[in-house]
Amino acid sequence: MKKVFFSVILISLLSLIIAGCANQNTSNNSSNQVKSISVAELKKQLNDGIANNTLIVDLREPVLYNNEHIPGAILIPFADFEKQYTQLDKNKRIILVCHTGPMGDASGQFLKSKGYEQVLNLDGGMQAWDKKS
C-alpha cells in the first residue's frame, strides 16, 4: 500500500514538473515573437521592388558580407548589434539575415524588446538564400 501511495505521489510530482516546464516554454509573450520570412517571399518582394519602408540587415561578419549579401542589405555584425541598433528606424520593416537563422531571431527579439514592431527573420538565413539562388 505504501508503494502504491509513493508511486502516485511521485507520478503526480513529475507531472507537475513537466507541465510547469511546458508552460514556461509556451508562455512567451507573443508580441515578442519574431516572425520569419521565407527566401521565396523575400525574393518575390525584391523582384517586385521591395518597399522603401523596408531595411534588410545582414548580421554576419564583414568578410562574409563582402563576399556575398542580399541586394540592398546593410551590414551590422551580430557582435556589434546591441551598440548599433539605434541607427535602425523604428517605423521601417526590418528583415534580419544571419548564417542560418538563430542570430536573426535573437536580434529580432532584442529589437522587439526595444519597441521595434515590424521585425522579420529570414528563415534559414544566408544558407537557405544560397540554396535558392
Residue type present at position 29: N
Does 132 score more than 70 pLDDT? no
pLDDT at res. 16: 43
The CATH label, of 3.30.390.30, 3.10.129.10, 3.40.250.10, 3.40.50.300, for the domain at 30-132 is: 3.40.250.10
How far apart, in Å, are the Cα atoms of 62 and each of 13, 67, 76, 113, 123? 51, 8, 9, 26, 21
Distance, CA of 55 to CA of 95 (rounded, Å) = 6
Does 51 score more than 60 pLDDT? yes
- Quickly count: other Cβ atoms within 10 Å of residue 13's Cβ: 10
pLDDT at res. 81: 96
pLDDT at res. 20: 41
Does 14 score more than 60 pLDDT? no
Q: Which three cell numbers stand for residue 104?
A: 536573426
Confidence of residue 50 (pLDDT cuts 50, 70, 90): confident
- Report helix angle 125-132 to 39-48, nearest 10: 70
Distance, CA of 117 to CA of 31 (rounded, Å) = 8
User: Which residues fall within 8 angstroms of residue 68, CB to CB, at 6 or more apart?
Assistant: 126, 130
Residue extents of the structural domains in the chain:
30-132
Residue range 77-101: average pLDDT? Answer: 95
Confidence of residue 30 (pLDDT cuts 50, 70, 90): low
Task: Write the pLDDT tens digit of every residue in 54-80.
Answer: 999 999 999 999 999 999 999 999 999
Distance, CA of 13 to CA of 32 (rounded, Å) = 31
